[in-house]
Each structure stands twice: as structure tokens, then as C-alpha cells.
A and B are shown apart, each in its own frame.
Chain A
């Protein structure tokens, strides 16, 4: 049996997916990027392979993607995370209907990608200048509020007041806004809700730049935060689809691209 790996080396996490020749996802693993992502990427790959009772010899094609893709020299190919995300999203949502727009929030950037009927990327917009509206922003806010990132979702739904808007786009300045709100004894829940809406509004602006087309897919780690999902749905006024494993769509897409490349080279 032949296997294909997609390795997505992001700013915050390394995501690896392994697919079989039928493009089925058979395993995945996520680890922190840390300070030496080259080393950690190899370790994670080996750990995943041993979990699946496989060895490196079973892997016939490796595609690297993400911000650290160029340092993974063992890969047969490397592609941008935009293409990989588009391919992965369509595969992950194949039973759900057509995906026309992808929202991706990563550790350091956020993207909106627009697709045509065949799944080709027609347009994309990226917020790449600072941490506004990214996973880091959520991390920083959770840290200020002394809660875990995982708790943000439930706090959002526990909010009873008006969401307290955070006007600063900069994560550093937002911190002082949050401290101010806490100092004035506002509830953590209302602040969390405000943080989510601040990010959601920013994301929706990004999506509007590429055009809102129904069939919206949301991935990246922050998609696990049901509060943020709620805020984005409200701002977009439509349902969005969250895959079962929102963090690994891009690496899954990279693995699928590997299959296509392998087939192309060997037929």
C-alpha cells in the first residue's frame, strides 16, 4: 500500500496528515512548532508513522506547505498553503456540498479564499501585517483574562450583557483595553464575546474583499472555538461549515496534492 504525507509547518503548530491512494485521511498529528520546527517536524512525522504502524518507506510522496515549508528539504514538493487549503477543504467537505469560500485563521495570519466550481482558487485576501484577527490575538486575550483558550467558547455563550467591543486592532494595544475593562469590573464573559465580535468583524471585511459566496468553510485552530464561530456566523448572517478536524485541512490538502503529483509522475 502506498501512503502520502502532507506536512503543514505553521507559525504555531506543525500539522501532519497521511492519506492513502484513495485520498482518504488515515491519520493526523499536531504538535507545537516551538523553536526548532525542522527537528520537531521530523519527530512528529516519525511518531505519527509509528502510531499507524508504518515506516518512512511506506511514504511514496511528501508535500510540505505552510510558512516553514522550505526548511523541510526531504519533501518531494512544496506548495503554498493557499492552494493546499483549497484542495483540503473540498476533500474534507465532500459530503457536505460545494465549498465556495474558505476562511482560515492561523496563528499569525488570517485568510479568505474564493473558489470556482472546480475548486480552483480565484481570489484570496490575507491579513498578514500583524496579529490582529488571528489565533495569537485570541491567545493574548485569553492570557489577559486568565482563562485557557479552550474556555473562550463557553464563556462566549455565558455572556448576558452587551458584547464589549475591542477597538484596537493591535494585539498589544488590545491588551491594555482588556485590562482597562477588567479594572472597571466588566464580566469576563462580555469581554470574551466582544473579542470574538472584534475578530469576526475583521474577518468578514476580509471575506467581503474576495466576495461572500455561500458554501463557507472555516478552518484553522480558532475554528474549534464555538464562540468565534457564532460571532462569524452572525456577522456573515449565514451558516458556516466547520470540519471535524479544522486544524489539519491544509496538511490534508498537501497530501492529496502529493497523490496527484505521484500519479502524474508515474503514469
Chain B
């Protein structure tokens, strides 16, 4: 007896890349195909994600790539030193599975996926150096694990309280130290004019985000939440100039759509504010369920989107140290990450978003294993209850098979919001 096998078996790397490509294309296709009136200029982002995750296309061939493990590393400094920031928070189940062999089973899927990504070493743009802010326990330890795979990882001390002056000083020192380390690595000097230019450029990118959000405040929303996550997710790794052009185009199209009244939602579609553990491509499981259940995410309070863009750097004095200090304050004071001891800022932010975006309810997702979000659940739930804002708390991970049970809960929540919305309208009439 013989076997006929006309093919070659994939290498480990090819296999992992295929798994990731399969995950990626599934999400991209769903976004392209399942929602009504798709926005044409979103194609830039769909193609970008497909190029990077299905075809391993490199975007920054000739540049030094600085990997950041969390949102708190100032991109302004990286750009000013002629390098490119790549944020390495990862949303792939494939990498999560690889990471599960290296970290405890109960660890956060985002951290496991990030570590798994480094373990596999499958990068389209491999970082030359990594900076790891000491935010949550798991990320802090992840930096040390990654170092063992032969990467250069530098810790950047981050305080866990943000009210005290001591923390503020400590963080300002950390940011300066980070600038020194990177400037040593690059063999370049951080200058006032370079830093000023990059603060302005990122500020401009932030202003584009804010403009886009204006269209989500309208009664008739022109862009859905999943597309927004794509746009902000692209900022993790895209060439910033291309990103700016693409978002400008998106804004033009949104303007036309508003004028010609092209809608993506029914008027009765509940409006949702999304908060909790960050949806990172391609883990759009919960946002996708929400919008497939005929609700629309009008705003979010997550570190993969709103938290990156919401607050601008307010510079007092445009000298080097003045800029560095103001920048440090923005990355500490404005941050609403649940790692902080007290975090009333986050509750205030969610309530403010619900009010200004006229939302009907909040969906709070925590990754199973993301202890800080799990811990903060109670206080947020109580605060929402006090305000009379309906909230749904969900725990999920990166596995694709959980869909069935979750979708029933999400649909039931959204239907309850819809019924409420219809009733309140009738009462008004």
C-alpha cells in the first residue's frame, strides 16, 4: 500500500501565519459584507489590515521600529527621534494559543497573545527595541518573558497612583529616561523643533479622530463602531502620514453621507458606549455581536481607541523640558486605565460619553484573566445604576467558539434597550 501526497507540508511559521490570515480575513470580510451601506474609504483600512496580516507586508522597511507594550509610551518622542512606534498589544487567538504554553492558563488573553507573538517571532515589521511601561502586573512580567526570547526590552517605570505629586515627578523622570535611552539607541539627539513638530502632527491626528467622533454624536450615525476600531487600530502600526490622508478622506465621505442622508442604522437601533478590555484586531468578537444585533457603538472608553486620542497635550512652554513635562502629564493624568488605585476618572468619562453621545446603554467587557477590569466592574456597575444607565457586563476571551452563548446575552440586552426606546418615544408622543 502506498500513499500519494503531491504537496509539501507548511513550516511552523507558515502555519502560524496562515492561522492568523484566516482569523484576519474572517473579520475583514464580515465588516465588508454584513453591514449596510459600507463606507468606501474604509477600504484603505481593510486593505491595510489584509496586507499586513494576510500577506505579511512590511510597512516600515528602512526605519528603526520601536515596540511599545502599552499606550503610555509617548509616540511623539519616538517620531522625533526618527523611529516608528509599533504598538504590540495583540488580538490574535493564534498567538494567544502559543502564549498559553508560556504563561499561566488564567492569564489575560491580550498578554498571552502578545507574548505568543514574540515567541513565534512572526513579524511583518519586527521591532528593534522594546519599551515596556510597568502598568498592570501581567504586562510588567510579560516584558521580562519577552526579553528571554532575545529581544532588547527596557522597562519604563509607571506609577499606580496618579493623584500625588510624587507619582507625577516619578513619571516625568521615567519619560525623560525613556527619551535618553532611545536617543542613545538611535544615536540622535532629541531637539526642541523635532519634538514640537511631532507633538503637532500627533495632535492633528487626534483632531481628526475628534472630528470623526462628531459624526457619531448625530442621531443618524454615519460610521459604525467596528469600523472606528479599525481606524484607531491602524494607528498602532500604520505609516502616520498615510493614516492621516486616509482619515481625511473618511471625513469627507462622512460629510457627504450626512448631507445625502445615507444611514447605517435604523432610528430605533440602540446606541452603545463600549468600555473595558480593549478590542484589538481581529478580536472584535463583542463589538461585532453588538452591531450584528442591530445596535450601534457610538463611543468607547478603551485603550485601543478613545484613550489613545481623547486628550491632547497641553504645552505651557515650548521648550524641550516644558514639552516633555506636559507630555508626561497627559500620559499619566488623563489615563483612565483600571490599574490605578482609585479610578473615578474612568466612571466620570463613561457617564460623560453616555450623555454627550446620547447613548442608551453601556457594554462593559472584561477579558477573563484581566484582573483589573474584573475588579473595577462592581464600582462601574453601581455608578451606572445610580445614573439610571443600563449596563451589560460580559467576560470573554479570544476563543472563537464562545459566540453562541454570548450572542444570546448581547441580543437580549439590546432588545431590552430597543423596547425601552420605543416606549419612551410613545410616552413623549
Chain A residues proximal to chain B, CB less than 8 Å: 92-93, 95-96, 157, 161-165, 167, 169, 180-181, 184, 186, 194, 197, 226, 229-230, 233-235, 237-239, 241-245
- Interface contact A242-B22, CB-CB below 8 Å: no
B401 close to chain A: CB less than 8 A: yes
Known interface pairs A164-B26, A167-B401, A243-B3; A237-B21 also in contact (CB < 8 Å): no
Q: Which of A92, A180, A235 contacts B15 (CB 8 A)?
A: A235
- Interface contact A237-B22, CB-CB below 8 Å: no
- Interface contact B15-A96, CB-CB below 8 Å: no
Known interface pairs A230-B7, A244-B2; A237-B29 also in contact (CB < 8 Å): no
Q: Which of B1, B4, B9 contacts A238 (CB 8 A)?
A: B9
Closest to B2 in A: A244
What 0/1 readout, one digit per residue, does chain B (1-29) give for beta carbons within 8 Å of chain A? Answer: 11111110110101100100111111001
The CA-CA distance from A173 to B33 in the complex, in Å, is: 18
Chain B residues proximal to chain A, CB less than 8 Å: 1-7, 9-10, 12, 14-15, 18, 21-26, 29, 32-33, 54, 400-401, 403
- Extra contacts besides A162-B22, A165-B22, A226-B6 (9): CB < 8 Å: A157-B6, A164-B25, A180-B33, A186-B29, A226-B4, A234-B9, A234-B14, A238-B9, A243-B3
The CA-CA distance from A230 to B4 in the complex, in Å, is: 11
Residues of chain B lying within 8 A (CB to CB) of residue A186:
29
- Interface contact A234-B10, CB-CB below 8 Å: yes
Main secondary structure, interface of A, reads: loop
CB distance from B397 to the nearest CB of A (A): 15
The CA-CA distance from A164 to B400 in the complex, in Å, is: 14
Residues of chain A lying within 8 A (CB to CB) of residue B12:
237
Residues of chain A lying within 8 A (CB to CB) of residue B14:
234
The CA-CA distance from A168 to B401 in the complex, in Å, is: 8
- Interface contact A244-B18, CB-CB below 8 Å: no
- Interface contact B25-A162, CB-CB below 8 Å: yes
The CA-CA distance from A218 to B146 in the complex, in Å, is: 38
- Interface contact A165-B3, CB-CB below 8 Å: no
The CA-CA distance from A169 to B208 in the complex, in Å, is: 42
Residues of chain B lying within 8 A (CB to CB) of residue A238:
9
- Interface contact A163-B5, CB-CB below 8 Å: no
Residues of chain A lying within 8 A (CB to CB) of residue B6:
157, 226
A-B contacts, 21 listed (Cβ < 8 Å): A162-B18, A162-B21, A162-B54, A163-B21, A163-B22, A164-B26, A165-B400, A167-B26, A180-B33, A184-B32, A197-B22, A226-B7, A230-B5, A230-B7, A233-B5, A233-B7, A234-B15, A237-B15, A238-B9, A242-B3, A243-B1
Closest to B22 in A: A165
Closest to B32 in A: A184
Residues of chain B lying within 8 A (CB to CB) of residue A235:
15
Residues of chain B lying within 8 A (CB to CB) of residue A244:
1-2
The CA-CA distance from A243 to B23 in the complex, in Å, is: 33
Closest to A157 in B: B7
- Interface contact A233-B21, CB-CB below 8 Å: no
Main secondary structure, interface of B, reads: helix
Q: Which of B2, B10, B23, B403 contacts A165 (CB 8 A)?
A: B23
Known interface pairs A162-B21, A162-B54, A226-B6; A167-B1 also in contact (CB < 8 Å): no
Q: Which of B2, B15, B54, B400 contacts A167 (CB 8 A)?
A: B400
Residues of chain B lying within 8 A (CB to CB) of residue A92:
1
The CA-CA distance from A197 to B26 in the complex, in Å, is: 14
- Interface contact A237-B26, CB-CB below 8 Å: no
The CA-CA distance from A226 to B5 in the complex, in Å, is: 7
Q: Which of A184, A194, A242 contacts B4 (CB 8 A)?
A: A242
CB distance from A252 to the nearest CB of B (A): 11
- Interface contact B9-A169, CB-CB below 8 Å: no
Residues of chain B lying within 8 A (CB to CB) of residue A194:
22
Known interface pairs A162-B54, A194-B22, A234-B18; A229-B5 also in contact (CB < 8 Å): yes
The CA-CA distance from A197 to B20 in the complex, in Å, is: 13
Residues of chain A lying within 8 A (CB to CB) of residue B3:
241-243
- Interface contact B5-A239, CB-CB below 8 Å: yes
- Interface contact B9-A239, CB-CB below 8 Å: yes
Closest to B6 in A: A226
- Interface contact B5-A184, CB-CB below 8 Å: no
Known interface pairs A242-B3, A243-B1; A169-B54 also in contact (CB < 8 Å): no
Residues of chain B lying within 8 A (CB to CB) of residue A243:
1, 3
Max chain A Cβ within 10 angstroms of own Cβ: one of B12, B14, B18: B18
Residues of chain B lying within 8 A (CB to CB) of residue A93:
1
CB distance from B10 to the nearest CB of A (A): 4
Residues of chain B lying within 8 A (CB to CB) of residue A180:
33
Known interface pairs A162-B21, A164-B29, A167-B26; A237-B9 also in contact (CB < 8 Å): yes
The CA-CA distance from A243 to B2 in the complex, in Å, is: 6
The CA-CA distance from A169 to B399 in the complex, in Å, is: 13
The CA-CA distance from A239 to B6 in the complex, in Å, is: 12
Residues of chain B lying within 8 A (CB to CB) of residue A167:
26, 400-401, 403
CB distance from B331 to the nearest CB of A (A): 37
The CA-CA distance from A197 to B3 in the complex, in Å, is: 21
The CA-CA distance from A161 to B33 in the complex, in Å, is: 17
The CA-CA distance from A169 to B26 in the complex, in Å, is: 16
Residues of chain B lying within 8 A (CB to CB) of residue A163:
18, 21-22
Closest to A153 in B: B6
- Interface contact A96-B9, CB-CB below 8 Å: no
The CA-CA distance from A180 to B1 in the complex, in Å, is: 41
Residues of chain A lying within 8 A (CB to CB) of residue B54:
162
CB distance from B105 to the nearest CB of A (A): 15
Known interface pairs A186-B29, A234-B9; A95-B23 also in contact (CB < 8 Å): no
CB distance from B240 to the nearest CB of A (A): 27
Residues of chain A lying within 8 A (CB to CB) of residue B22:
162-165, 194, 197
The CA-CA distance from A162 to B22 in the complex, in Å, is: 6
Residues of chain A lying within 8 A (CB to CB) of residue B403:
167
Closest to A165 in B: B22
Residues of chain B lying within 8 A (CB to CB) of residue A230:
5, 7
- Interface contact B9-A245, CB-CB below 8 Å: no
Residues of chain B lying within 8 A (CB to CB) of residue A239:
5, 9
Q: Which of A161, A165, A237, A242 contacts B5 (CB 8 A)?
A: A242
